[in-house]
Amino acid sequence: MRSARAATAGAVLLVLALAGPAVASTAPATERGVLSNQQDTTRWAHATSEAIVHARPDGRSRASGRLRRRTEDGRPEVYVAIRTGGTDDAWVQVELPRRPNGSRGWVPAYALGPLHLRRTVLTIDRARRTAVLKDAGRTIWRSRVGVGKASTPTPAGRFYIREGLRLRSRDGIYGPYAFGTSAYSVLSDWPGGGVIGIHGTNQPELIPGSPSHGCVRVPNDAMRRLAKRMPIGTRVVIR
């Protein structure tokens, strides 16, 4: 997905009210220290500082960049918390929304805000060109979709929803709504950094199919329904 600010040619972007209750989760983890199980239990948080990311739960381990406070579109950045570790569980391993896809690192627990629990999982099947959203195992939305063409494929893997945007230009190339994920395209020079998005379309006749540069295209009516059901922090499985 190109940067929404560039793509909408000045159209106003409004954040969707999708963050959910701003309360810390009290749901039990599956084992000690585990916060997200990569399946149907996901906990996420915003960064409270631009802390250094480390390879291990130790401030002396190799550094690999810093947390960032904002997404490419200027919205509060989201990090999935995988597990705690280190002395007194003072560190949290997080999924990093950056290249290469699937990057992880350790940050001090104080660098993250309250944890939010999600049970929603969006599964995208590239071969069947379908998308299904489940909440605690129950299907609450489904649609046919368009995916990336062979030269610019939609990447496979486990990702998550970082932001939701309502687009003022409803008949634009991204339709009425767009979600930004933690996945990145093979197009590193794409405007906005090549974030893989899930968005509407002004070419519904191309769905189902493989017309995109890596993003997932959804018919606009289905996208409007999805925008009401899929919160920030939702696990995204692309296979």
Lowest mean pLDDT among 1-5, 50-54, 168-172, 201-205: 1-5
pLDDT at 11 over 70: no
Q: How confident is the model at residue 226 (pLDDT cuts 50, 70, 90)?
A: very high
Mean pLDDT of the chain: 89
Residue 169 is predicted with a pLDDT of 75
3-state class (DSSP) for residue 14:
strand
Architecture of the 42-117 domain: Roll (2.30)
The token pair that represents 172 in the structure block: 């634009």
Q: 59 — alpha (psi -120 to 50), left (phi > 0) or beta?
A: alpha
Architecture of the 4-15+119-238 domain: Beta Barrel (2.40)
Name the residue with tokens 């409007």: 224
pLDDT tens digits, residue range 172-207?
899 999 999 999 998 766 666 799 999 999 999 999
Q: How long, in residues, is the chain? A: 239
What is the CB-side half-sphere exposure of residue 162 using CA atoms within 13 A?
A: 27
Q: How far apart are CA 131 and CA 108, in angstroms?
A: 35
Beta strands in 130-234 (DSSP E): 130-135, 138-144, 146-148, 157-167, 177-184, 195-199, 209-212, 216-217
3-state class (DSSP) for residue 149:
coil
What residue segments make up the domains of the chain, in order of their start? 4-15+119-238, 42-117
Residue 15 is predicted with a pLDDT of 44
Residue 28 is predicted with a pLDDT of 46
What is the pTM (predicted TM-score) of this model? 0.88
CA 193 distance to own-chain centroid: 14
- DSSP H stretches of helix in the chain: 4-7, 220-229
CA 166 distance to own-chain centroid: 16
